[in-house]
Amino acid sequence: MADRTPLAISPAVELFVTGLSHRTAPTALRDRLVPDEGAGAELLLRALTQAGIGQALVLATCDRIEVVGADAASAAAAETALSQLARRGGLAPSALRPHAYLRTGPDALRHLFEVAASLDSVVIGEPEILGQLKAAHRLAVEAGCVGPELEGGLRRAYGAAKRVRTETALAEQSVSLVAVAIKLARQIHGDLAETGVLLIGLGELGGAIARALQVQGLRRLWLATTAPARGALLAHELGARALTIGELASALDHADIVLAAQSAAAPVLGAAELRAALARRRRRPMLLIDLGVPGDIAPEVDGLEDVFLYALDDLERISAGGRAGRAQAAAAARAILEEELQRLTREGAARDAAPALVALRRHFEQARAEILASAAGLDADAATRLLINRLLHEPSTALKALAADAAAHGPQERRRIERTLLKLFGIERRYGAAGPHEDAGEDKGSDAQS
């Protein structure tokens, strides 16, 4: 069930998000902006604080680099955050704007929900993004960059993501893709203990398949990336040997399985280098799994002998449920997110109305206290009539003024206000649009005077 705690959003503060993702910017540009783990992210948070943004977190994955925050001037804060990202990469903000997104208010909250639920990932349903978001959240808390507005938005995003995981089959789709990759590896190479695997890029699905292969007995793993610092960290986590993209050719000699998860603007592997590697491998077969969006392996590679090439579309087609199942699960997930967002909107409207309701109650209580103080000796009937007249005096005067000032308030506006008044006190619901019938005991001698 989603988090039901109140979403602490001050009327003066709203959420914002800005950054670049796999949908908007090439990998090379995103890599320039992504901070190194730990210290690099802390430095970026410090820069955001010094720039006047009090609430922010930095979410940096292979799919995206973005700042999520909350500020009274949300649009201006988002622009400032984008400028800080540009400075991080040694670029002018104008270089990022064609590739960046900037969202505020409800649009920012919807984006945060979609990211947490893995609906905005390269591989929809992959489970890593939620953990990455929570890690970014913890780092921001430690840096003192999370206030009640940002905290409330994140908590609601986690609750919505939990509903998606438990009420839809979206997460199962990602697990199914990993299972297909393992099955293909076993069909082609049998015992995986003696195989060598080359992982290209930092894509989450590639890392998930590599980990699953290790569970199946894999002992030799190489990781080649265009981001050396982040690549070294992931290589340490996986127990892999870290390589640069320039070392791919030599690594192919030992790679029985290649997992391409770079999502580069152009293929990182072509037919020529694979043909040469096959010759050096003495035609030992290679399983190539292209997880890139767009593809990381040139299509003509599929024509080479002793090469078994599978793209992400192929895995989806083979997996249980396939693409149709993934689309159905994604649609169900989006419906859940919209339901959560609409509920938040209703709750926000109720919070906005609370001050007026408090003022109305205090006004009624004050009138009651005044009548009790001035109606000594009156019986209950007379006292309550006096109270009713006191409470109706101001509304009666206002309605008469509206009717008299026809130039400023036309008949449609007057009727709208009258209908609102009837709804506020439940008169229309209880008695219908005509109101209650005239009561014989009604005080006809009063014009609602106090």
Residue of 62, 78, 81, 243 with catalytic role: 62
Q: Which residue type occupies 403? A: A
Alpha carbons 399 and 405: distance in angstroms, whole number: 10
Sheet holding 101-104, edge to edge: 55-60, 64-71, 14-21, 101-104
Structure tokens at 448: 């609602």
195 and 185 Cβ atoms separated by less than 8 Å = yes
Alpha carbons 135 and 307: distance in angstroms, whole number: 39
Q: Where are the beta strands (DSSP E) in 349-388?
A: none
**222 forms bridges with which residues in the sheet?**
198, 241
Structure tokens at 379: 């019986």
277 and 253 Cβ atoms separated by less than 8 Å = yes
Q: Kindly report the CA angle at 210 between 116 and 40, in degrees rounded to 5? A: 55
396 and 447 Cβ atoms separated by less than 8 Å = yes
9 and 348 Cβ atoms separated by less than 8 Å = yes
Q: Which residue type occupies 352? A: D
Structure tokens at 338: 């919209």
Q: Kindly report the CA angle at 207 between 202 and 208, in degrees rounded to 5? A: 145
Alpha carbons 81 and 179: distance in angstroms, whole number: 40
Q: Is position 62 annotated as part of the catalytic site?
A: yes
Alpha carbons 60 and 230: distance in angstroms, whole number: 11
**Alpha carbon of 132 to those of 60, 165, 253: distances in Å?**
8, 16, 34
Alpha carbons 7 and 338: distance in angstroms, whole number: 16
Please list the active-site residues: 62
